[in-house]
Amino acid sequence: MAAAALAAASLAACQQADDAAFGQKLKAYLMAHPEVLKAALQNLQEQEDRDEAKAEAAADKQAKAMLPTLRKALEHDPRDFVANPGGKVTVTEFYDYRCPHCINIAPKVVALIRQRPDVRFVFKEMPIFGPTSEHAARVALAAKAQGKDYVGLYAALMAQHGLGDDDVDRLAKAKGVDLSKLPAAERADAVQIADVAKLATELGIDGTPGFVVGDTIVHGEDYDALTAAIAQAEKPAA
């Protein structure tokens, strides 16, 4: 037994020495040929990108299959503000006033609403960036409930960099929103915001902004994809 144990220990030591030598040779090779490591990292990134694209495509496919059952909640929830209610094509946006990508695309969204009365636009308040975002969402919902300039407030909130609670209140008051009515609507607002979050999850929208046009889901601030989806939705059914 002692001889066997000694032999095993000796073999293990040799293996460790071989591993160490191999490791040193590998390190020396990579130091001399960094392009090999760069190519390996690029291949890894490309594989991760392919996996992410596959996962997103699978999620979109599942979401599209659910759209018929979610269409009413998505496009015709009376709690949401709708711009151009008579438009023939409906766009729904999920957004947060403190989301940098939402901020970037907001001027184009406002221009689209004003220039294309034939595009019906549904606003889904989806605060994901903390208490100030939640406060801004509730103030916007108050603007809708009180018949104030919702789109104007949306534009103003999006344009205010470093948005804080005081900014939200100031901009809302400038639009004539009565902030004293917020406490009475707190529970209803919380339910509505939770419903929007649930709907976004069911549609595979895990960040803001997210747009839905017909059977197309557009992730992020891809305005070209958004306008392409609108054009596709405008085509007569085959």
pLDDT of 7 reads: 56
Q: Does residue 90 fall inside a structural domain?
A: yes
Given this model, what pLDDT does residue 137 score? Answer: 98
Residue-number span of the structural domain to which 116 is assigned:
70-234
Q: How confident is the model at residue 68 (pLDDT cuts 50, 70, 90)?
A: confident
Asked if residue 30 is part of any domain, the answer here is no
Neighbours of 170 (CB within 10 A): 12
Longest pairwise C-alpha distance within the chain: 92
Which residues 6+ apart lie within 8 Å of 148 measured at CB?
Answer: 142, 175, 176, 177
Query: pLDDT grade, residue 63 (50/70/90)?
Result: low
Q: Angle at CA 65, nearest 5°, toward 87 and 194?
A: 70
Q: Tell me, yes or no, whether 105 lies in a domain.
A: yes
Q: Which H helix or E strand runs over 191?
A: helix 186-202
HSE-up (13 A, CA, CB side) for residue 221: 12
The answer to the question of residue 64 being in a domain is no
| Pairwise pLDDT comparison (125 vs 1), residue with the higher score | 125
Residue 151 lies in a domain: yes
| CA–CA distance, 7 with 130 (Å, rounded to integer) | 63
Residue 87 located in a structural domain: yes
Q: Would you state the pLDDT for residue 14?
A: 56
Q: What is the pLDDT of residue 50?
A: 76
Question: Which helix (H) or strand (E) segment is 94 a member of?
Answer: strand 89-95
CA 40 to chain centre: 30
Q: How far is CA 54 from CA 61, 78, 83, in A?
A: 10, 35, 34
Residue 44 near residue 166, CB atoms below 8 Å? no
In this predicted structure, what is the pLDDT of residue 39?
Answer: 80
109-132 pLDDT, tens digit each: 999 999 999 999 999 999 999 999
Q: What percent of the chain has pLDDT over 90?
A: 68
- Which DSSP state fits 180? G
Question: Does the residue 49 lie in any domain?
Answer: no
Please choose, from the candidates 112, 121, 111, the residue with its C-alpha nearest in 3D space to the C-alpha of residue 87: 121
Q: Any bridge partners for residue 120, and if so which? A: 90
In the beta sheet, which residues pair with residue 212? 92, 217
What is the count of structural domains for the chain?
Answer: 1
CA 101 to CA 52: how far, in whole Å?
A: 20
Q: Which segment of 34-38, 58-62, 141-145 scores lowest on mean pLDDT?
A: 58-62
Q: Using one digit for the tens of pLDDT, what is the confidence trace for 3-35?
A: 556 555 555 555 666 777 777 886 787 678 788
Q: How far apart are CA 32 and CA 27, in angstroms?
A: 9
pLDDT at 170 over 90: yes
Q: Tell me, yes or no, whether 84 lies in a domain.
A: yes
* CATH number for the domain that contains residue 140: 3.40.30.10
Residue 34, pLDDT score: 80
